[in-house]
Structure 1
Amino acid sequence: MSEVLETTAACFVWDIRELDPSDGRRFGGKATGLARMVAAGIPAPPAFAIGTDAFHAFHANGRRLPGALRRQVDEAMAALGAQAGRRFGVAGDGELPLLVSVRSGAQVSMPGMMDTVLNLGLDAKLAAKMIAGAGAREFVIDSWLRFWKMYAEIVLGLDGEVLAEEIAPQRAAAIAGRIDLEALEAAIVAYVAAQGEDASTDPRAQLDQTISAVFASWDSPRAKAYRLHHGIAEELGTAVTVQAMVFGNADDNSGSGVAFSRNPNDGDPALYGEYLAGRQGEDIVSGAKTPIDLSRCEGAYADLRAKLDEHARTLERLYGDAVDIEFTVESGRLYLLQVRPAKRTAEAAVRIAADLVEEGLVDPAAGLKRVSAEQVKRLLRPVFDPAKLAGARSIAKGIGSSPGQASGVAIFDSDRAAERVAAGEAVILVRPTTSPLDIRGMIAAGGILTARGGALSHAAVVSRALDKPCIVGCETIEINPNEKVFVAGGKRYCEGDWIAIDGASGLVYEGAIDLIAPVQGARRLSRLLEKADALSRATIFTVTHNGGEAAQIEGAGAARAMIGMTDFALATGSIAALIDCVSRIGRANAATTESGLAEIARTLATRILECAEAQINHIRLPRLASERARSLIPDWSDLDPRLFLPLGSPAFYRPLLHGLSQASLDRDAPVTVFLGGVTDVGEWRRFHDEAEAFPNLAAGVTVQNVACLDAAPAMLAEGATLWLDMDEILLSAHGLTPEHYLVATALDDYVQQGLMSAHPRGSLKPFLASLLNKLANASGAAERVGVDCGAGCDLGLLRALYGEGFRTFGVSPGNREVVCLVLGQEAVFNL
């Protein structure tokens, strides 16, 4: 088959041996993976790809296949038959017809979300000739009816299981030889007609209809839901791969399976896979049968494992990543049908990335690309409290197929699960097995439990992609979704009863189990983040925004910390004394009030310096004009109005500076003190003189509004150290109140209604971008300007600020790892 099939029309169809394997956007992951395997000498059945150009032409043509595509497919099928030694739609005496699979193939893997049809190419006459050509009667009929089940579901929109049940008597009679295959075909057509559908029995017409249906599956509700959840672009579209069939159900020396080059649950660098003897591939994906565990097998399957392991290592070198392989054994011969980068849990992603770098398969920059910010967040998600777990009652055990721990009420229907989660409930989706139709509930639920299936079934693969805790193959429980109950250990559990699942151990528990912060995975994550730090060359401060974060810093220590005095007062129980002193300014004995403030400042600073692990200490002064002060101080509106100006009351800030200076001298630890609320360079000059009159103190400014940002380059030129409080700057720039800015759902909904052109947390208005760019390019900015990411700073905005040239960032204690990773990745992007 030549590369260009028609000179007068667009080239829609490409032989797998001739396409560009780097052009995933046009040919999709399946076809480009096959091209790589063929080029590497790995055995794969012949195939051709229909590119996304045809998908877009299909949509532009009113969801009809363009005429040029049909002609190119005819040529491609003839060439495919020549490679396979068979002909499509034709079978002479003793000759086997060509059967094909028709598979979707988007650039981004969407496991189980789009459609595939297998065994296309038979009608009654061809099936009869196939049997006459030494094909086992049951095998041929089983293969043909598998096609009809898929064709009915995907092309005709019928229930394939019902079709199979309706024609079961005729199937049994045909296998026994009591009726001919024309009678079986007539029963199928009659059933379809009774449902109001017209079923063609011509394989060539079925091929066109199936290609159209696979293109159309891009727009299915489940595919749309998956893309929305994973942020996959709608306009990508899908390619189609048409491949010669090989049969895992051909005989006793055949079978199908899926293998990973590394364990997708924990990243262990050993082959992990499952195999079903005498079965086709959809059986292992559906979870209808529990397969053989290839990662542990010996004896009869040791040679198969060895061959797969060899091919897996070759493919890891090609991809620079862990891979997922779909394979079939036909009469003892191994074929690889598909390869793609493996879906994996957060724990596995971090370990695989770190190991790939240490093994020399990829450089540190490529290793960082193997992990997402979302995966780091998930790795750090809470786990069962060991104290509570020790007293929990285990009621069942299945196959732990996606690690993680979750508690929730048992819900047996996917749509109902999504509704209950939307209402604020924690949910565990409990199903006999899952299918792509369950995607809405799987995305919403905190965890998934199924009675059937292996570790590579649909439930397991999709849960792993979603990084949801999942247990499959829990055969000791009986699930009745219609009655909304399951039975475990002789006890009946109803919808709404609380259960807990451990997706690593496979254990199911009765009742809820509390979660606590995790401790696992930290070492490997640290290895990876060291590479990220080296690439980004960024300095990361731990910044407090509330008392809880200050307590975290005090408990764990911080090499570089930007701590608010108010935060620490809240964390240490000193806030009442501080408020009392503030309330007495200008109303009581001035000396007593000022000495009280100085002692509070000294005590707080001493605690701060004790918990810091290095001599880089930044402390923010309280800002009495803030919304926070308004909420904390009784009779706030009755305070001396001068207290609401940054330098309006020396009786307030000088005692604080005195106390900080004393603590700094006691600990021999210089402190930089930051003033907030500033709007003019004149305020900076006065504060610089005031602060540096005290020993061991340096002056800095927390930039919290647009006016101060405009003056920031001048302050920097005069020696200031600056922190950009991005939350406050964005509030100032957009004229929002803290309630509107920080309550995510309200603002998110507002933006989604189209009432704002872009989300305030994730974008910069042009005038704001200009001010930030001016500051970033000022002399000394890289060393003396930090960006406080705050509570609502979007990661996209963080990347943009790094791209501008900022290299010092402040993050809350729980976000440090994510920010380190993102900055390392951004450094790679900017190389």
Structure 2
Amino acid sequence: MCAIQPWIQCTTSGSSSMRIFWRSWAGPVMCEVTTMNMQQFVWDIEHLDALDSARFGGKATGLARMVEAGIPVPPAFAIGTDAFHVYRQSGKQLPQRLIQQVREAMDQLGGKCAKSFNTGGMPLLVSVRSGAQVSMPGMMDTVLNLGLDARAAWRMIEASGNSAFVIDTWMRFWRMYADIVLGLDGEEIIGRVTAQRTEAEASPSEATLSQLEMALVRSFEEDGEQVSLDPHEQLLHAVKAVFDSWDSSRAKAYRKHLGISDDLGTAVTVQAMVFGNSDANSGSGVAFTRNPNTGERKLYGEYLTGRQGEDLVSGESTPVDLAHTQSGEHAALCSDLEEYGRTLEAIYHNSVDIEFTVESGTLYLLQVRAAKCTASAAVKIANDLVREGLILPRQALTMVTSDQLKRLLRPTFETTALSVAQVLTNGIGSSPGHAAGVAVLDADRAAELAASGQRVILLRPTTSPMDIRGMLAAQGIVTAKGGGLSHAAVVSRAQDKPCVVGCESIQIDLQARTFEIDGKLHREGDYLSMDGAAGIVYAGDLPLTNNLGGSPELIQLLAWADELSQANLSCSVGHLQEIDRLPSEALSISVIGMTDVAETLGLIDDLVSAVAKIGQTEFAQADATDLLCSVAEQIGRWLLEKIDQGPIYLRLPRLSSERARNLVPGWSELDPRLHLPLGHPGFYRPILEGLEQACQQAEKTLTVLLSGVTETEEWQRYACELEAFPALKGGVSINSVAGLASAPEMHAQGACLWLDMDQIVRSSHGFLAERYFSSACFDEFLQQGVMSRNPRSALKPFLKDLLAQLGTQAAQADACVGVDCALASDLDLVQALYQLGYRHFGIPLQQWQLVRLRLGQAAS
């Protein structure tokens, strides 16, 4: 008799293990048994969780949402990402439970379609598509038309009466299977069986189809491949190929470029095929509910009659423009797409793009996703959706990324240069923006040249996923063929990169590395300029000019961001001439260095001369006092006249700085007291006196910041000194970790504080120079594992703790605490400081709109 008997067992849905408890004379005993064979890997789209894109990917969850909305979708099932992870962890072996579930799912799929998968009757053909959580257009692999062997092809011909359609469909499958599953040249494989294909098309029969199939097998054998003719085996190999495509070089390059995690993995969607190439009343297309270039609320898309979707993406054929055919022969199709589009926009709260097929007059939607569009379109769509009541302003902010805003504000061609520029050719403007660089005809070479710092325009007949490295590296892309939804156009829009397609006058000779336009020969390396909105390619390297303006839609979007963030942004000016370029919405500037003003006004020599005389003879000291007072008065007058709105924060010179060391001759011989914030009254008192005189004359006030402070007692003494100067307010510029530690107490005692993040970061990391390494250098150190974080974007824990203590006070409505992010901070660091409670920032002019957007998003 067994001494130990089962007592109770429990398991969790989706778990790979089960806990079993046993009862024995000594009490319950627990062991864990692996139950991988009990795990569910396959889900019908009618029953999966439409919100769980992490498991099922965007493609399958999109299908599930459409099914729920009553939109016609071919039956399908999804293989979840948990199967992908098991496949990876097991040395790229499909688990037996997955194989069994796929067979069961195929039987159910056949039942829904009244077709059979390799078991007689009307054949069931399927597509096998990738389904990552994050859309990666063109980066992952797809196999279409899977499910035919010679006998099934013959049954399909007998049922349809269309041998040309069936044979074309079958050969398309083998071409894809060779390319994607076997890594061979599919065109070459199919080319070897031209004679047998011609015979089968001329005299279709089971015998001629079998001869064609055997010829294909021999063609594969010539390349050392033994292929299975069993569709079940082909399906499993296709699933493995889709899993493997996650780790392809192009997919890795795309994810690295966009910062997408390599750990997400991909799901697989297996869907019953519908055929756009079955007859003249069929076709395939892609439609956007709003124009992805402009954001206009109007159906935008392309449709190819009698063709499959791969023909549209390849750009080899000229499609019908849906935007201009809504009253023609495709009016009913456009009407249905618009109706479904409105439904899907209400579900996605966004503009969407739709992949569809018409089979013998019946419309099916194959895919839906939030539309990838240009930056200007994203801003307009976000505004329009708020006005239409589909989303709230806080949701609108999430629809525009910082990178898109950067591109929206990117440079444009200088007007004078553009007026005399030579137009080389025109095409379809498929992604807006202006770019210039050398023409390069090869994607790998484009990537190499761009890595060396060269600006590149990638010029190709068409593009494919194999060109992704060069496409990511190029400033812009030009193709001789293709439409607005070709591969080049789709990827360029996703990157918001200028693109012109369909330049039919361009003839490219890849062997000679030349291209001809209207009979004139050009060579690789010649400069081109391009306008991706107008679809124009110019000769030469047209100069670009900065664009700091904004559309009414952008102004509205940023106003919503300001309302949500309640942040007070000032402009930090590196050169005082920038004051004249401040946008009207920037009500103030942050901190101005007195030394910077002295250099602008030509007073720096007087300032340096006065400093050198301090502490010398009584006569020299008197001269220094008069000179310092005069310089300070001129600086004060200039500032009070120049800045007529908002408070003015003027930072006193810090004579212990590297800048002072370089400016003042004999710096090492100066009176040592000058290196302390309040060390020598012969230095700071004449300056305060001169500033006081300027304020009294202008009947205005200045806030004068003392630098280098590390102790609360220093602030107390400075506050006492300022009592003699009623027009001056006092503050402290915190530029060290020691000063930051004392900052909460100084603020509690009435000090207006400005944190100099450049100096704080420098001192906290021990960098020797004030102008230290570039972000690129930090990124390199991070990749090498030399640093744990980029100090310009992430705070060390001890520094974060110090900033958090002051942040509590900074969050108060009347707090006078600002953060000057002139040099050291990127958007991540600004957002981190905002989340610690800081609300007043001084930022460079070129980052002003970016920070507004980011802080609005942080508050959403």
User: Counterpart amino acid of 1:791?
Assistant: L
Consecutive unaligned residues of structure 1, counting only runs of 5 or more, are none
Q: Does 1:697 align with 2:725?
A: no
Q: Deviation at 1:350? A: 1.6
Greater Rg, structure 1 or structure 2?
A: 2
Specify which of 795, 808, 819 is matched with residue 851 of structure 2.
819
Q: Residues 192-223 of structure 1: CA distance to partner in whole angstroms, max 9, x if unpaired?
A: 11111121111110000000110111000110
- SS of residue paired to 1:103: strand
Give the equivalent residue in structure 2 for 1:202.
230
Return the alpha-carbon distance in structure 2 between the equivalents of residues 348 and 741 of structure 1: 38
- RMSD across aligned C-alpha pairs, in angstroms? 2.2
Give the equivalent residue in structure 1 for 2:383.
354
User: Counterpart amino acid of 2:286?
Assistant: V
Q: Deviation at 1:574? A: 4.4
Q: Does 1:182 align with 2:214?
A: no
Q: 1:666 to 1:329 in 2, by over 3 A?
A: farther
User: Counterpart amino acid of 1:64?
Assistant: Q
Specify which of 791, 797, 801 is matched with residue 833 of structure 2.
801
Give the equivalent residue in structure 2 for 1:138.
164
Q: Does 1:274 align with 2:302?
A: yes
The answer to whether the 8 A contact 1:557-1:612 is kept is: no
The answer to whether the 8 A contact 1:558-1:611 is kept is: no
Return the alpha-carbon distance in structure 2 between the equivalents of residues 467 and 196 of structure 1: 43
Q: Does 1:789 align with 2:821?
A: yes
Return the alpha-carbon distance in structure 2 between the equivalents of residues 279 and 780 of structure 1: 61
Q: Deviation at 1:183? A: 1.5
Q: Deviation at 1:572? A: 4.8
Q: Deviation at 1:274? A: 1.0
User: Counterpart amino acid of 2:628?
Assistant: L
Q: Does 1:617 align with 2:643?
A: no
The answer to whether the 8 A contact 1:262-1:271 is kept is: yes
Q: Deviation at 1:303? A: 2.1
Return the alpha-carbon distance in structure 1 between the equivalents of residues 607 and 745 of structure 2: 33
Q: Deviation at 1:658? A: 2.7
User: Counterpart amino acid of 2:154?
Assistant: A
Give me the TM-score of the superposition, normalised by structure 1: 0.95
Give the equivalent residue in structure 2 for 1:410.
439
Give the equivalent residue in structure 1 for 2:458.
429
The answer to whether the 8 A contact 1:48-1:76 is kept is: yes
- SS of residue paired to 1:468: coil
- SS of residue paired to 1:299: coil
Shifted more, 105-114 versus 773-782: the winner is 773-782
Q: Does 1:498 align with 2:527?
A: yes
The answer to whether the 8 A contact 1:249-1:279 is kept is: yes
Shifted more, 688-697 versus 353-362: the winner is 688-697
- SS of residue paired to 1:171: helix
Q: Deviation at 1:7? A: 11
The answer to whether the 8 A contact 2:190-2:216 is kept is: no
Return the alpha-carbon distance in structure 2 between the equivalents of residues 229 and 538 of structure 1: 31
User: Counterpart amino acid of 1:753?
Assistant: Q
Give the equivalent residue in structure 1 for 2:257.
229
The answer to whether the 8 A contact 2:568-2:839 is kept is: yes
Return the alpha-carbon distance in structure 2 between the equivalents of residues 565 and 553 of structure 1: 20
Q: 1:209 to 1:718 in 2, by over 3 A?
A: same
Specify which of 156, 176, 184 is matched with residue 150 of structure 1.
176
Q: 1:552 to 1:175 in 2, by over 3 A?
A: same
The answer to whether the 8 A contact 1:102-1:243 is kept is: yes
Q: Deviation at 1:547? A: 4.8
Give the equivalent residue in structure 1 for 2:18.
none
Shifted more, 761-770 versus 273-282: the winner is 761-770
Give the equivalent residue in structure 2 for 1:510.
539
Counterparts of 1:62-73 in structure 2 under 5 Å?
A: 62-73=91-102
Counterparts of 1:611-650 in structure 2 under 5 Å?
A: 611-650=642-681
Q: Deviation at 1:405? A: 0.4
Q: 1:328 to 1:739 in 2, by over 3 A?
A: farther
Q: 1:282 to 1:14 in 2, by over 3 A?
A: same
Q: Does 1:452 align with 2:484?
A: no
Give the equivalent residue in structure 1 for 2:373.
344
The answer to whether the 8 A contact 1:781-1:806 is kept is: no
The answer to whether the 8 A contact 1:119-1:144 is kept is: yes
- SS of residue paired to 1:295: helix
Q: Residues 471-505 of structure 1: CA distance to partner in whole angstroms, max 9, x if unpaired?
A: 11111111122221111122111111111011100
- SS of residue paired to 1:499: strand
Q: 1:724 to 1:12 in 2, by over 3 A?
A: same
Shifted more, 167-176 versus 440-449: the winner is 167-176
The answer to whether the 8 A contact 1:260-1:323 is kept is: yes
Return the alpha-carbon distance in structure 2 between the equivalents of residues 89 and 269 of structure 1: 45
The answer to whether the 8 A contact 1:91-1:130 is kept is: no
Counterparts of 1:351-430 in structure 2 under 5 Å?
A: 351-430=380-459
Give the equivalent residue in structure 2 for 1:173.
199
Q: Does 1:243 align with 2:277?
A: no
Q: Residues 419-477 of structure 1: CA distance to partner in whole angstroms, max 9, x if unpaired?
A: 11111111111111111111111111111111111111111111111111111111111
The answer to whether the 8 A contact 2:810-2:837 is kept is: no
Return the alpha-carbon distance in structure 1 between the equivalents of residues 111 and 244 of structure 2: 30
Q: 1:7 to 1:726 in 2, by over 3 A?
A: closer
Counterparts of 1:53-68 in structure 2 under 5 Å?
A: 53-68=82-97
Return the alpha-carbon distance in structure 2 between the equivalents of residues 691 and 818 of structure 1: 38
Q: Deviation at 1:636? A: 4.2
Shifted more, 685-694 versus 217-226: the winner is 685-694
Specify which of 288, 293, 298 is matched with residue 265 of structure 1.
293
Q: Residues 549-596 of structure 1: CA distance to partner in whole angstroms, max 9, x if unpaired?
A: 456449997434432233334445544444444444456744444333
Q: Residues 43-82 of structure 1: CA distance to partner in whole angstroms, max 9, x if unpaired?
A: 1111111111111111122101100011111111111111
- SS of residue paired to 1:219: coil
Shifted more, 155-164 versus 525-534: the winner is 155-164
Q: 1:143 to 1:779 in 2, by over 3 A?
A: closer
Q: Deviation at 1:181? A: 1.1
Return the alpha-carbon distance in structure 2 between the equivalents of residues 269 and 568 of structure 1: 50
User: Counterpart amino acid of 1:290?
Assistant: T
Specify which of 149, 156, 165 is matched with residue 123 of structure 1.
149
Q: 1:312 to 1:667 in 2, by over 3 A?
A: farther
Q: Deviation at 1:507? A: 0.3
Q: 1:500 to 1:203 in 2, by over 3 A?
A: same
User: Counterpart amino acid of 1:743?
Assistant: S
User: Counterpart amino acid of 1:249?
Assistant: N
Give me the TM-score of the superposition, normalised by structure 2: 0.92
Q: Residues 136-191 of structure 1: CA distance to partner in whole angstroms, max 9, x if unpaired?
A: 11111111111111110110001122223333333233222288111211222111
Return the alpha-carbon distance in structure 1 between the equivalents of residues 316 and 532 of structure 2: 20
Specify which of 768, 779, 783 is matched with residue 748 of structure 1.
779
Q: Residues 787-813 of structure 1: CA distance to partner in whole angstroms, max 9, x if unpaired?
A: 222323132222222121111111111
- SS of residue paired to 2:168: helix
Return the alpha-carbon distance in structure 2 between the equivalents of residues 302 and 662 of structure 1: 77
- SS of residue paired to 2:128: strand
Q: 1:555 to 1:286 in 2, by over 3 A?
A: same
The answer to whether the 8 A contact 2:759-2:770 is kept is: no
Give the equivalent residue in structure 1 for 2:698.
667
Return the alpha-carbon distance in structure 1 between the equivalents of residues 549 and 365 of structure 2: 35
Q: Identity of paired residues, percent?
A: 54
Specify which of 761, 771, 776 is matched with residue 802 of structure 2.
771
Return the alpha-carbon distance in structure 1 between the equivalents of residues 187 and 715 of structure 2: 76
- SS of residue paired to 2:72: coil
The answer to whether the 8 A contact 2:811-2:837 is kept is: no
The answer to whether the 8 A contact 1:581-1:593 is kept is: yes
Specify which of 104, 111, 117 is matched with residue 130 of structure 2.
104
User: Counterpart amino acid of 1:170?
Assistant: Q
Return the alpha-carbon distance in structure 1 between the equivalents of residues 248 and 404 of structure 2: 27
Q: Kindly tell me the number of residue pairs found equivalent between the two proteins.
A: 823
The answer to whether the 8 A contact 1:431-1:479 is kept is: yes
Give the equivalent residue in structure 2 for 1:735.
766
